[in-house]
Amino acid sequence: MTPVSSKQYADDVSLLMVLIDTNPLFWSSTAAPLPFSKFLSQVLSFLNSILLLNQLNQVMVIATGLNSCDYIYDSSLGLTTQRVETLLQKLEEFVIKDEELNKDDSVDGIGSSLLSGSLSMALCYIQRVFRSGSLHPQPRILCMHGSQDGPGQYVAIMNSIFSAQRSMVPIDSCVIGSQHSAFLQQASYITGGVYLKPQQPDGLFQYLTTVFATDLHSRSFLQLPKPVGVDFRASCFCHKNTIDMGYICSVCLSIFCKHHKKCSTCGSAFGQPQTNVSTSNQKT
């Protein structure tokens, strides 16, 4: 296959990074609206459709597991005939590996998959594509997520979101689970992507082809679903609870729910809280 940089790219060529949530606890719980096999078949058909839309389109699949993340499929490697087969093969291998990494048997609830890890891996790959030359398809990230938001990943996810915003890579979110994901809402809002929680999980393929198959150039002409409201609340750095009123370190802007003597992120000491004027400790 000819290298990417030597081709002429039209406006609608896209590089799609699909992050699939493979949290087994989620897929085996009642929170999952459809069985994993149905979900996977619809996603794979969607990937085939994307590759059919344009000869130069590229697709990259990353699996988001409980304990690890990994690249599952890369369309630029060729293999048009055995595409699904290779993908499923690699996915199975990944699941086995992920299980081996699972040390702690007792997981609280359905746990949360490592979204921050897969976001970081996607952004790294995109950076590599950017540096390959001036001619490259327009990258975007599609996050198929169902697990809960892990509060411990708040900082890492926010960092990935800001770096995606800086690289102008939109993050689309398709939330399969029963609840909305605040992290993904913020991600889509900040990066200019689309956030959707399908009302009819049976028609997931239809949702995917109608909303998420649109390339970035065409989006300027289309009306895509917008979320009604975005939950912008931050999580405190000490307990990872979502808070709307708290304390902020004026040096590093870390958020705390309770008054601390010292900032745990940057180590700066806070002064005594005063009624009128605050010296180094600001109250929001």
Partner 1 sequence: MTDAQVVKRAKYKSSVKDPGLRGHKSSKEGANRPALLNLTQDQGNYIFEFENFSDREICRDFVAKAIAFSGEVGGPTSDKAVPQKDEQLSSAEMERRIKLLQEDIELQKLHKQFVIGDVLSETEFWATRKKLLDVNASRKAKQRVGLKSEMIFNVKPSSDGQSNRVTFNLTPEMIHQIFAEKPAVRQAYINFVPNKAAYVSQAAEDEELAVFLRQDAILANETRQKIRKVDPTLDMEADEGDDYTHIPGHGLANEDIKDELEAQYEPFKRSFLQDINRHAAVVLEGRTIDVETGDTRSVAEALASTKRVELAKEASDGNVLQDRIDRIVRMAEIEDLQAPRDPPVAPLCIKDPRDYFDSQQVNALNQLSGTRQMKSRLSTSEAYGSLRAHISEIRTTGFSDPIVRPEVAFQVFNSLTQNISSSKYQLGKNPHESILDTLPSVTKEELLLVSRLRDAMSKIYPKLQEIKESVQSDTRHQVSLLVQPMLQALDAAFAHYELDQQKRYAKGGEKPNGYA
Contact set with partner 1 (CB under 8 A): 22, 24-31, 35-38, 40-42, 44-45, 85, 88, 91-92, 95-96, 98-99, 102, 105, 107-110, 148, 178-180, 182, 185, 198-200, 202-207, 210-211, 223-233, 242, 244
Instruction: For residues 124 and 249, give the distance between their C-alpha atoms in angstroms, rounded to a whole number.
Output: 30
Contacts of 275 (CB under 8 A, 6+ apart): none
Q: Are 94 and 65 in contact (CB under 8 A)?
A: yes
What separation in angstroms does the CA of 260 have from each of 234, 239, 244, 275?
18, 13, 17, 17
Of residues 169 and 204, the one with the C-beta less far from partner 1: 204
Of residues 29 and 127, the one with the C-beta less far from partner 1: 29
* Residue 3 CB, nearest approach to partner 1 (Å): 31
Q: What is the DSSP letter of 6?
A: G
Instruction: For residues 83 and 61, give the distance between their C-alpha atoms in angstroms, rounded to a whole number.
Output: 12
Q: Which residues does residue 62 pair with via DSSP β-bridges, in sequence order?
A: 19, 71
* Residue 179 CB, nearest approach to partner 1 (Å): 5
* Residue 220 CB, nearest approach to partner 1 (Å): 16
Of residues 86 and 265, the one with the C-beta less far from partner 1: 86
Instruction: For residues 63 and 26, give the distance between their C-alpha atoms in angstroms, rounded to a whole number.
Output: 14
* Residue 248 CB, nearest approach to partner 1 (Å): 14
Q: What is the DSSP letter of 237?
A: T
Of residues 13 and 62, the one with the C-beta less far from partner 1: 62
Nearest alpha carbon to residue 138 among 7, 6, 10, 226: 10
Of residues 94 and 125, the one with the C-beta less far from partner 1: 94
* Residue 70 CB, nearest approach to partner 1 (Å): 15
Residue with tokens 């917008």: 226
Question: What tokens were used for 169?
Answer: 């890579």
* Residue 140 CB, nearest approach to partner 1 (Å): 19
Of residues 45 and 127, the one with the C-beta less far from partner 1: 45
Instruction: For residues 113 and 26, give the distance between their C-alpha atoms in angstroms, rounded to a whole number.
Output: 9
Of residues 7 and 219, the one with the C-beta less far from partner 1: 219
The enclosing H or E element of 140 equals strand 138-145
* Residue 161 CB, nearest approach to partner 1 (Å): 16
